[in-house]
């Protein structure tokens, strides 16, 4: 029983680490880190595959209001 607990804790730590790394990678592709963290926690390698395959989101340019300029 002790071996099962040890393996379970190691797998959980590895799964969480991969989810954290994936969330960081999602931020570099202009995607929500929190959303991808939870997707990676629940769907694991399938979500990681989609994160890598999907194209990066183009950043939305900020619109500057002309009336606020001095």
Residue 61 lies in a domain: no
This prediction has a pTM of 0.76
- Please, what are the averages of pLDDT over each run of 10 residues along the chain (70 residues)? 87 94 95 96 94 89 74
Percent of residues in the chain assigned helix, strand, coil, to nearest 5: 70, 0, 30
Residue 63 lies in a domain: no
Count of domains forming the chain? 1
CB 20 within 8 A of CB 37: yes
Domain carrying residue 40: 2-54
Residue 21 lies in a domain: yes
Q: What's the confidence (pLDDT) of residue 32?
A: 94
CB 1 within 8 A of CB 14: no
Residue 1: partners with Cβ closer than 8 Å, 6 or more residues away: none
Q: What's the confidence (pLDDT) of residue 10?
A: 94
CB 38 within 8 A of CB 26: no
Residue 62 lies in a domain: no
Residue 16 lies in a domain: yes
Residue 69 lies in a domain: no
């Amino acid at each position: 029983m002790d071996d099962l607990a040890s393996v379970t804790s190691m797998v959980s730590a590895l799964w969480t680490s991969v989810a954290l790394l994936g969330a960081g990678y999602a931020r570099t592709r202009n995607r929500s880190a929190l959303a991808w963290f939870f997707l990676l926690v629940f769907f694991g390698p399938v979500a990681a595959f989609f994160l890598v395959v999907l194209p990066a989101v183009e950043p939305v340019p900020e619109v500057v209001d002309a009336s606020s300029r001095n």
